[in-house]
Chains A and B, each alone.
Chain A
Amino acid sequence: DIVMTQSPDSLAVSLGERATINCKSSQSLLYSSNNKNYLAWYQQKPGQPPKLLIYWASTRESGVPDRFSGSGSGTDFTLTISSLQAEDVAVYYCQQYYNIPRTFGQGTNLEIK
């Protein structure tokens, strides 16, 4: 199974500041035939199911604010929130869909400082 490791486990950022969450996979998620990284990011607010934010490592899902961006390739990926808003308080998960099982990172708890 591909192991996904996020850092940090918890993060406190001031409103309006940048938040950065890292995700590392135990093997490359870059599929050479289409040059796509099989990596997604999800946001889970308290009491709610997760919500797909980003797929192909950097493509925002429809309706996701452009302050959310994804980057990286191969085994190292980053989710960046450019200017933190109060409604962004949540747990964020990365997930690989390169193969089965579709493994998740352990989650990063994002709070307001």
Chain B
Amino acid sequence: EVQLVESGGGLVQPGESPRLSCAASGFTFSNYWMYWVRQAPGKGLLWVSRINSDGSSTSYADSVKGRFTISRDNAKNTLYLQMNSLRAEDTAVYYCVREVTALARFGFDSWGQGTLVTVSS
């Protein structure tokens, strides 16, 4: 069974730099692109960042570019999101997401339960 378990969220002060982690199991982690998607309270889904299967290529939403860094450790089956210079508007549930990319099947097929990051003084 595919499992994605996020950790590292909580109450943080503006300007702090927490790191989110996502432990993956039940599949060959190194074969998949992975994403972080966030959802502010009562709002919709916003793509934050993505990383390819070997970690050589990354992309970021404009709202986090230069502040957040996505990375992965395929030996540890773990995805990370280093968040710097946090702002109140970064308050959200952050989901770790697997993307399946095949002609037979495509999309964000597995989601973690999410970790809430609340930025407040």
B111 CB-CB contact with A under 8 Å: yes
B46 cross-chain contacts in A, Cβ below 8 A: 104
B35 cross-chain contacts in A, Cβ below 8 A: 102
Min CB–CB distance A79 → chain B (angstroms): 14
Interface residues contributed by chain B, number (CB under 8 Å): 20
Q: Is the CB of B105 within 8 A of A55?
A: yes
CA distance A34 to B44 in the complex (A): 31
- Residues facing A in B76-121 (CB within 8 A) are 95, 99, 103, 105-109, 111-114
CA distance A94 to B50 in the complex (A): 18
B47 cross-chain contacts in A, Cβ below 8 A: 101-104
B59 CB-CB contact with A under 8 Å: yes
Q: Is the CB of A49 within 8 A of B50?
A: no
Min CB–CB distance B95 → chain A (angstroms): 6
A38 touches which of B45, B99, B105, B106 (Cβ 8 Å): B106
B61 CB-CB contact with A under 8 Å: yes
Min CB–CB distance B47 → chain A (angstroms): 5
Q: Is the CB of B59 within 8 A of A100?
A: yes
A68 CB-CB contact with B under 8 Å: no
B95 cross-chain contacts in A, Cβ below 8 A: 49-50
A101 touches which of B61, B105, B113 (Cβ 8 Å): B61
Residues of B within 8 A of A (CB): 35, 44-47, 50, 59, 61, 95, 99, 103, 105-109, 111-114
**10 extra A-B contacts, CB within 8 A, seeds A97-B107, A102-B35, A102-B108:** A49-B111, A56-B106, A59-B105, A61-B109, A91-B44, A101-B47, A101-B59, A101-B61, A104-B44, A104-B46
